[in-house]
Structure 1
Amino acid sequence: MIPLAEAQERVLAGCGVLAEITAPVDDARGLVTTETVVAPELVPPFDNTAMDGFAVRSADVADAPATLAVEGTIAAGVPPDITVGAGQAARIMTGAVIPPGADAVVMVELTEVSADGAAVTVAQSVPAGNHIRRAGEDLSIGQTVFGPGEVLTPGHLGVLTSLGMYRVRVRPKARVGVMSTGDELVEGPQALELGQIRDSNRHTLLALVAEAGCEPVDLGSMTDDEAEIAAGIRAGVEKCDALLTSGGVSMGDYDYVKKVLDEIGDMSWMQVAIKPAKPLAFGLVDGTPVFGLPGNPVSSMVSFELFARPGLRKMMGHSPGAWHRQPVLGRAAGPLRRRPDGKTHFARVRVEYADGQYQVTSAGGQGSHQLSAMAAADALAVLPDGEGLAIGDPVPLLILR
């Protein structure tokens, strides 16, 4: 067996970063920037009011209450055709341009308009600049907005469009193909015959790929036929950036996937000192990373979390600190037992945040075939070799959701 860190290093070394693209901002959420974005214009582009009210000269209301003549109304989106002089005011709507002469805005709640609308009484004095958003207050011309390596959120996309920038250079989503093989696999709700199982791994992995920010590509299920499997893998690596298979990666197994990958790829077959997900295959087929994950459902999911997800995130340009889920510390609220076997165990657990820390309990059966416990889990508890943990013991956690 090899240590977990060594296996992860082998995988990451084989996952190259994808070439940058220029993407429309509406397609860029979650992608990673490859450029330094510099503001080409001011945000906001002009002095404007933060709320509905009256634009005034602050000196005219210094001894409030004060009554001023209303010279007109300034709506948002319309250049002002009013100049505010001594003893005058202009009704103004949120976002509208501050008219010449005015240096403050009085919110409407502090005013009372005469019956004929010709005058307004201001109840309180306001300082110069009151409720005015200055041009360039958010961003100035030439200011660095954000740099390369930034994961674009909805807020980032709003900033870009506020600057008139509708395309951005990023790393693309990785297109990740997922395929299943096996004569025993069945797709659909029909009754199973003896020896058949439903193809759950493919659907699970497609969902995990999407959750990781990649573009999942369903390559379907194939029978145990070498020619069909070889053609499927070659077709997959031609149109995808990475490929996932599940099953047939244990040492000594005779499996058509293993045989084909050995013939057409440069593969490494590993036994990792972890449970579940001990067997792992990783390598390149025509330069494309191929992950051979274990066939047991829980092992497949844990292997994806520990190996495939970090590799795919590296490919999409995420920083090294974001390749892996970062562990947080919890405390066992119930016993988490295991037996010494020279491996690190990843127990499926539920977590509840209480009294300033995560309280951890088992999510159910810990067999690698018991997918229901994985579905119930909020996290993986990292259990070092030994007898496990007693109530109250600290435990590192990889939070899954």
Structure 2
Amino acid sequence: MIPLNEAQERVLAGCQVLDEAVVPIGRARGLVTAETVAAPEMVPPFDNTAMDGFAVRSADVADAPVTLAIAGTLAAGSAPHVTVGPGQAVRIMTGAVIPPGADAVVMVELTEAAPDDATVMVSESVPVGNHIRRAGEDLVVGQTVFEPGEVLTPGHLGVLASLGRYQVRVYRRARVGVMSTGDELVEGPEPLGAGQIRDSNRHTLLALLAEAGCEPVDLGRIPDDEEAIATGIRTGVDTCDALLTSGGVSMGDYDYVKKVLNEIGDMSWMQVAIKPAKPLAFGRVEGIPVFGLPGNPVSSMVSFELFARPGLRKMMGHPADGWHRPPVAGRMAEPLRRRADGKTHFARVRVDYADGRYRVRSAGGQGSHQLSAMAAADALAVLPDGDGLDTGDDVSLLILR
């Protein structure tokens, strides 16, 4: 067996950063910037009001309550066509340009307009600049907005749109193919025959890829036929940036996937000192990374989290500190037992946050076939070799949700 960190290093070394591409901001969420973005214009572009109310000269309301003449109305989106003179006020809507002469805004709640709309009574004084958003208060021309390596969230995309940037240079989203093999696998709701099982891993992995920000590609279910499997793998590496398979990676396994990958790829078949997900295959076929994950459903998911997800995030340009899920501290709310076996265990647990830390309980059965407990889990608890943990013990967690 090899240590977890050594297996992860082998995988990461075989995953190269993808090309850059210019994409519309509508398709950029979750991608990583490959350029420095500087502001070509000010945000906001002009002084404007943060409130509905009246634009005034602050000196005119210093002795409030006072009554001012209403000189006009300004709506958001209109050019300022009126000036605020001494003893005057202009009705103004949120986002509208501050009119010449005004140096403050009184919010509407502190005013009362006369029935004929000719005057307004202001009940309180306000300082210069009250409720005014200044031009360039958020961004000024030439200011660096985003550096390369920034993961684009909805907020980032809003900033780009506010600057008139509707395209951005990023590292490409990885297209990742997922294939299932095996005559025993059944797709669809029809009754199972003797020895048959339903194909769950492919659907799980496709969903995990989408959640990780990749573009999942369903390569379908392929029968136990060497030629068909070879064709499926070649199709995957011809059309995708990476390929996932599940099953057939144990030391004792001999199936067509393993035979084909050994013939056409440069593969490493590893036994990692972890449980679940001990067996792992990784290599390259025609330069394309291929992840051979275990066949047991929970093992497949844990292997994806520990190996495929970090490798794919590296490929999509994420900074090194974002390849792996960061460990967080928790405390056991109940005992979690295991057997000493020379491996690190990743237990499926549920967590809740109280008193400044995560409290941790088992999510259910810990067998590598018990997918329902994995579905119920919020996190993986990292259990070092030994007998397990007792109530009150500290534990390291990988939060999944």
The yes-or-no answer on 1:282 pairing with 2:276 is no
Counterpart residue number, 1:260: 260
**How many Å apart are 1:336 and its aligned residue?**
1.2
Q: Distance in 1 between matches of 2:324 and 2:226?
A: 35
Amino acid at match of 2:2: I
Report what 2:123 is aligned to. Answer: 123
Within 5 Å, give how 1:185-264 maps onto structure 2.
185-264=185-264
Distance 1:302 1:313 in 2: 16
Instruction: Give runs of ≥4 in structure 1 deviating > 3 Å.
Output: none
- 1:356 deviates by 2.4
* Offset at residue 380 of structure 1 (A): 0.9
**Residue matched to 2:322:** 322
Cα offset for 1:181?
A: 0.5
Alignment correspondent of 1:177: 177
Provide, for residues 173-212 of structure 1, a one-character-per-residue CA deviation record: whole Å limited to 9, x for no partner. 1111000101111111111111111111111111111111
Is 1:292 the equivalent of 2:283? no
1:391 matched residue in structure 2: 391
Aligned to 1:96: 96
1:239-260 deviations in whole A, cap 9, x for unaligned?
Answer: 1110000000111321110000
Q: What's the counterpart of residue 9 of structure 2?
A: 9
Q: Aligned residues: percent identity?
A: 81
Q: How far 1:90 sits from its partner (Å)?
A: 1.2
Over residues 303-343 of structure 1, what are the superposed CA-to-partner deviations in whole Å (9 max), with x where a residue is unaligned?
00100000011111111111111111111222211111111
- Counterpart of 1:350, as a letter, is R
Give ranges in structure 1 of 5+ residues lacking alignment.
Answer: none
> Post-superposition shift, 1:80?
1.3
Q: Which residue matches 1:31?
A: 31
Moved more, 235-244 or 360-369: 360-369
**Cα distance in 2 between the residues matched to 1:51 and 1:286:** 60
Aligned to 1:56: 56
TM-score (norm 1): 0.98
Which residue of structure 1 aligns with residue 269 of structure 2? 269
The whole-number CA distance in structure 1 between the counterparts of 2:132 and 2:347 is: 56
Answer with 222-231 or 364-373: which moved more: 364-373
Q: What letter is aligned with 1:236? A: G
Secondary structure of residue in 2 paired with 1:262: helix
Distance, in Å, in 2 between the alignment partners of 1:133 and 1:179 is: 55
Distance across 1 between alignment mates of 2:120 and 2:378: 60
TM norm structure 2? 0.98
Q: Distance in 1 between matches of 2:61 and 2:386?
A: 77
Q: Which amino acid in 1 is paired with 2:386? A: G
Q: Distance in 2 between matches of 1:108 and 1:182?
A: 70
Q: Secondary structure at the match of 2:8?
A: helix
Alpha-carbon distance in structure 2 between the residues aligned to 1:166 and 1:45: 18
Give 1:131 shift: 1.0
More deviation, 29-38/61-70: 61-70
CA displacement at 1:362 relative to structure 2: 1.5
Matched length: 401
Q: CA deviation at 1:103?
A: 1.0
* 2-structure distance, mates of 1:128, 1:260: 76
Cα-to-partner distance string for 1:244-279 (whole Å, 9 max, x where unaligned): 000001113211100000000010110101111111
Give the letter aligned to residue 306 of structure 2: L
Equivalent position amino acid for 1:77 in 2: G
Which residue of the partner structure matches residue 81 of structure 1? Answer: 81
- Alignment-derived partner of residue 160 in structure 2: 160
Structure 1 counterpart of 2:45, one-letter code: P
Alpha-carbon distance in 1 for matches of 2:368, 2:201: 13
Give the AA of the match of 1:395.
V
SS of residue paired to 1:391 = coil
Q: Is 1:142 the equivalent of 2:142?
A: yes
SS of structure 1 residue aligned to 2:398: strand
Partners of 2:384 and 2:163 in 1: how far apart?
51
1:72 is paired with a residue whose SS is: strand
Partner of 1:369: 369
Greater Cα offset, 332-341 or 153-162:
332-341
Cα drift, residue 34 of structure 1: 0.8
Query: What are the Cα deviations for residues 205-237 of structure 1, in whole angstroms up to 9, with x where unaligned?
Result: 111111111111000011111110000000011
Cα distance between partner residues in 2 of 1:59 and 1:392: 64
In 1, the alpha carbon distance for the partners of 2:28 and 2:390 equals: 46
Q: Which runs of 5+ in 2 are unaligned?
A: none
Distance 2:177 2:92 in 1: 57
Residue 373 of structure 2 aligns to which amino acid in structure 1?
A
Cα offset, 1:292, TM superposition: 0.3
Task: Name the Cα RMSD after superposition.
Answer: 1.0
Corresponding residue SS for 1:351: strand
